[in-house]
Structure 1
Amino acid sequence: MSDQEHTPEIISGDGSKTGLALPGQNLPDKLYIIPIHNRPFFPAQVLPVIVNEEPWAETLELVAKTDHHCLALFYMDNPPEDGNSFDPDNLPEHGTLVRIHHASRENGKLQFVAQGLSRVRISGWLRRKHPYLVEVEHAKTPTDPSDEVKAYGMALINAIKELLPLNPLYSEELKNYLNRFSPNDPSPLTDFAAALTTAPGQELQQVLDTVPILKRMEKVLPLLRKEVEVGRLQKELSAEVNRKINERQREFFLREQLKLIQQELGITKDDRSSDLESFRQRLEGKVLPEPVRKRIDDELNKLSILETGSPEYGVTRNYLDWATDLPWGIQGKDNLDLKRARKVLDRHHAGLDDIKSRILEFLAVGAFKGEVSGSIVLLVGPPA
């Protein structure tokens, strides 16, 4: 028998209980509660919810035995340390009454589809330990919105329509879902708009705690506008990245085609092309400071137009040969061991005691300072 078969059916075979709850249905005032930790759940949402099997399996079993199949989801910013019990006093003011559909169990997790129905506020505790049971009050919103509320509703719809093309995650089905909202029914529209944003959980909880519709809209519209701006910026960045990638791919393909054409025609590269390719290959994988990169690029461009027989070509080529051969971006550790330095000098050089002493003196100063800076060491005689 599979794990899923051990979980009672949340939705029975009775067709009257399998469909989504409809507006105007009587909602229960005694509910079991489950905390969620990612972000608040809004009344306008229909989404899957995943919780730990332990200890919430018992709660879902009790919900399955009710006629309404409803419970309350409350957002908690910080999950309890043991992952199970929590302090009821840490719950926020408002949560969301949801109806449960299609519960299943897998790998120690319980998953169910939650249909948000109403804001609820705890009016009393019937059980302050597992399974938590409370009495709730349902938030009331005016059914006849003012002109200002309708104007905010139109602004929300326009902002959402701006946001949809900016994010490929928003499907055509979601656009059709939006068309069912009306400025004349602003509460679910406002909650839906808040749920679309990526605002932090605490900011979204403030929206959930705000029952007056106009104040709630005043909180949600800036969040939605910010989401639109972020979406536009992401789209611009993606377009710029794609443009650069396409340019590099185009250059790569053109170079490969040129190589193939030269091979087909039996054309060998001239010295200039070979030098340029050799220098560019040396630079691959090296991290150059921006001024150095610009200078080398300028010299490469100059080399590409010079005649190979000109004196300036030889000077430029020698400079690039030196500059591209340096270990850019590679740093070594100074070895300031004076005894080892003395052994190396004696092994490779006979006599020259004064010069060896000068080198050891220079290294000793570096060891004292902790570093050896780039210096010209005078070994013989005074400066000219």
Structure 2
Amino acid sequence: MPETALPKTVPVCPVRGSVIYPTMVQHIDASRAISIGAIEAAMAGDKVILIVSQRDKDVDDPKGADLYDVGTACNVLRVRKNPDGTVQMLVSAAARVRASNYQLGDHLQADIEPLSGGLSGGVELRALTRELREKFDTVVSGGKLSAESVQTINSKEDVGEMADHIAFNLDFKLEDKQALLEIANVEERIRRLLTLLDTEQEVQAVQAKIRAQVKEEIDKNQREYYLREQMKVIQKELHGGDEEEGDEAEQFRAKIEALGLTPDVKKEIDREVNRLARMHPDAAEASVIRTYLTWVTELPWHERSEDRLNVEEAAQVLDEDHYGLEKVKDRVLEFLAVRRLRKERAERGEISAEEVNKGPILVFTGPPGVGKTSIAQSIAKSLGRKYVRIALGGARDESDIRGHRRTYIGAMPGRIIQGIRTAGTKNPVILLDEVDKLGSSYQGDPSAALLEVLDPAQNQHFTDHYMGVAFDLSEVMFIATANYPEQIPAALMDRMEVIEFNSYIEQEKLEIAKRYLQPRQLIQNGLKPNQITFTDAALERLISHYTREAGVRNLEREIGTVARKVARRIATGEVKRVKVTDKELERYLGQPRHTPETEGKEDMVGVSTGMFYTPVGGDILFVETSIMPGKGGLVLTGQLGDVMKESARAALTYAKSNAERFHLDRDKLDNSEIHIHVPAGAIPKEGPSAGGAMATSLISALSGIPARHDVAMTGEMTLTGRYLPIGGLKEKVLGARRAGIKHIILPKQNEPDINDIPLHLRASMRFHPCETVDQVLDVALVGGLAALETPRGETGTEVPVKAPAKRRTTRRGDGARA
């Protein structure tokens, strides 16, 4: 393309780390929007584009100031769009041009002006050309370029074109290549290129010198190796055939023989020892093998701790360390009993020893702070086993479990093998803490690596990548902990036995505070037992008004806060001892941070009492219904979830379908706006268990019959009036008891769950199991179902107030069943 054919303004395609010279045909890959836009503009116009290099290749969105002033004007020969959105362009470089007046619109464009230069010719040019060819041949004689590239460059008749191709193919810096592009005069360009070739020639000479030195050093090390081997033979002969006592490889051999390894494992280890024996002690590979053999010899291949199989002693240890957690303790004692019977059968020869050593894999699930991690340590203590905790929270690499292969620098075994080495026995209790918080990345999924570890059928041949040999994990007792079991992969969950930890009730927290937290905080804060005492009322108020949690971590922090403030008063001589009562808590901790709900003061129309469950305990809530003149419709407020809104709609449908039986005004139902509100609007609420409370509140408001303030209810209702079971009954009932509720309405199918509530806590409560919403209304409304089915006046306010209808109920104070 002659210079006169160049447009004045052309699209600009910035490139990074390369320079293209005139007469070249080159592929250019474009992935940035600014480059793709320029290519599209060029194709839509004269098919001329400016290729110019960036000053800084790290700039992703370059402007004119980020580009060099001189580039190459090119004809676009072909453009191909790739499926991944990138564009490949084939261009023919035409001329050196100077760019100015950069403008950024849909793409970058600039005004261009060809660089003027010339070729003087004569003797000087011939001399420069000959020098260029000779230096180029010298530089590429060491194989710097392929034979095809050298032949192509030498065949160029135009010396300027030859200089450009040399600059393009040799490994010069970007600044040097750009400088050659900016020189239009051929003689000047060749002189600059000769200078660069001289520098390259010097660099190659230094490289050759370094290679010679390295080869000489290698030959020297090889010679020393042979001399050392000869010295070994000479010393062996001098000592009558005995090898040198201090030989490192032989020391490892002696240790490995003492381990009693299986033939397959020993064969692999012996191979590494033989490699070490043949290697120079100072070689880098020798250090790697030495570290590996150290790991092998320090693993407890046959070391075991003897299990204490006394069930009574184990029960005493568990009771000393933890209050409550009866299901967990029972499971541990069951394990001990089974292990004891297996051992007795093995001693009689009825089963193999391998059957005795197999351990269960438990996973403790529950909210934070309920003792999942600490109970594992108590289990190890009761069994007489070593205890190792492996924190898996945030682990994202498979090598955390399986280890790194020895080919990597800094390779080491995975956490499982590290834990076994730390324990010093092959049958410890290993706690896999926070197994639900494992991550995954491009480096692998650690939860998948745990599948082999936690599978009793596979873990007797667990192979760590670093060790490269099988290690038996079948005798290890694995215990995992998790806050959210649904986040554990199904395949991993299938290999574990789930034991649920429920949140502590207030009475359990009180006992834990008195037995464990208070004494521990006194020691940590330098206090003696007689210097500070907490009354039961103070601890109860601390639990109910200053903490709201499933476990006891915050409770211990609050006790520690009080202890520190008392310690300060004692240290300054203000007091000698302090008795902390419930009235003095505000002095140390300020105003209460939580205020539990209490039962209503009186029976009210349209206000019923429900119950709810959270991971930090149960409580009551009120459902309020108001009937207002309007065009009909249902308004729901209180930040209710979808399921709770559906319960309200189901309650309204149930009321409409039973309007005639309950003597409800049909016009009032159809032409009034019904507003159902659940207070504490800032707290999201969800779940179906408020169905009964919503139906009671709605029908109370429509009929004018008050709902009883001493009755709380939980259960899911259907359109046909069935009362279905729910979860979390224990926590809900305890929350209602704390609020002063005396009567509990629950689904009939939840009646067995009442046995989970401690006997002394349900002594003062009456439970009403119900199968239908009619039975719920019979208990929840003043006057019961009879008052609801009795015709009332037009206003719906003439309610016969009488004692609730007698019905069959269950008093759980004496454990009787209905």
Taking structure 1 as the reference length, what is the TM-score of the superposition? 0.53
Q: Which residue of 1 aligns with 2:437?
A: none
Give the whole-Å Cα distance in 1 for the aligned partners of 2:148 and 2:80: 24
Residue pairs, 1:338-353, within 5 angstroms: none
Per-residue deviation, 1:251: 7.0
Partner Cα distance (2:58, 2:212) in 1:
43
Q: Give the direction of change, closer, same or farther, for the CA distance of 1:122–1:249 in structure 2 (3 Å limit).
A: same
Q: Deviations over 1:28-58 (max 9, x none)?
A: 3242111123143322544443333323222
Q: Is the 8 A contact 2:119 2:187 kept in 1?
A: no
Q: Contact between 1:94 and 1:208, CA under 8 Å: does it hold in 2?
A: yes
Give the alignment of 1:208-227 within 5 angstroms: 208-227=181-200
Indicate yes or no: 2:120 matched with 1:134.
no
User: Residue type matched to 1:120 in 2?
Assistant: V
Is 1:58 the counterpart of 2:58 in the alignment?
A: no
**Aligned 8 A contact 2:70 2:98 in 1:** yes
1:286–1:143 distance in 2 versus 1, CA, 3 Å: closer
Deviation (angstroms), 1:194:
2.5
Shift in Å, 1:118: 1.6
Residues 1:165 and 1:138: Cα distance change in structure 2 (over 3 Å): same
8 Å CA contact retained: 1:46, 1:114: yes
**Could you report, residue by residue, the CA deviation over 1:50-75 in whole angstroms, capped at 9, with x for unpaired residues?**
333323222222333456x4311112
Shift of 1:130: 3.4
Aligned residue type for 1:271: H
The amino acid that maps onto 2:148 is E
Contact map agreement 1:45 1:115 (CA 8 A) in 2:
yes
Aligned twin of 2:160: 187
- Is the CA contact (8 Å cut-off) linking 1:197 and 1:224 kept in structure 2? no
Question: Counterparts in 2 of 1:1-384, with a 5 A limit?
Answer: 27-29=5-7, 30-43=9-22, 45-66=24-45, 69-79=47-57, 81=59, 83-86=60-63, 88-100=64-76, 101=78, 103-105=80-82, 107=84, 109-122=86-99, 127-143=103-119, 145-168=121-144, 170-182=145-157, 185-245=158-218, 248=221, 269-271=237-239, 274-275=243-244, 278=247, 284-285=281-282
User: C-alpha distance in 1, partners of 2:86/2:229?
Assistant: 53
Shift of 1:95: 0.5
Quick one: which amino acid aligns to residue 55 of structure 1? Answer: I
Deviation per residue, 1:137-170 (Å, 9 max, x gap): 22344355232122212211111111112244x1
Distance 1:36 1:239 in 2: 39
Q: Which amino acid aligns with 2:49?
A: L
Larger Rg: 2
Structure 1 stretch displaced more, 32-41 or 136-145: 136-145
Which residue does the alignment assign to 2:608? none
User: 1:63 & 1:199 partners in 2: Cα distance?
Assistant: 30
95-104 or 273-282: bigger deviation: 273-282
Decide which moves more: 233-242 or 103-112.
103-112
Q: Distance in 2 between matches of 1:271 and 1:94?
A: 80
Cα drift, residue 84 of structure 1: 2.2
Listed one character per residue, the Cα deviations across residues 315-353 of structure 1 (whole Å, up to 9, x for unaligned) are xxxxxxxxxxxxxxxxxxxxxxxxxxxxxxxxxxxxxxx
Contact 2:15 2:54 in 1 (8 A): yes
Contact 1:36 1:76 in 2 (8 A): yes
Q: Whole-Å Cα distance in 1 between the matches of residues 215 and 98 of structure 2?
A: 49
Q: Give the SS at the match of 1:145.
A: coil
Offset of residue 227 of structure 1 = 1.0
Percent identity between matched residues is 18
Cα distance 1:79–1:248, how it changes in 2: closer, same or farther (>3 A)?
closer
Q: TM-score, normalised by structure 2?
A: 0.27
- Aligned to 1:33, the other structure's residue is in SS state strand
Say which SS state the counterpart of residue 11 (structure 2) adopts.
Answer: strand
TM-aligned CA distance change 1:106 to 1:85, over 3 Å: farther
CA contact (8 A) 1:197 1:227 kept: no
Letter in 1 for 2:171: T
What is the identity, as a one-letter code, of the residue corresponding to 1:216? R
Whether the aligned pair in 2 keeps the contact of 1:43 and 1:119 (CA below 8 Å) is yes
Pick 1 or 2: higher relative contact order, CA cutoff 8 A, min separation 6: 1
Letter in 2 for 1:218: R
- The 1:276–1:173 alpha-carbon spacing in structure 2 relative to 1, beyond 3 Å, is farther
Uncovered stretches (5+) of structure 2, i.e. residues with no partner? 250-276, 285-818
CA distance, structure 2, for counterparts of residue 258 and residue 99 of structure 1: 73
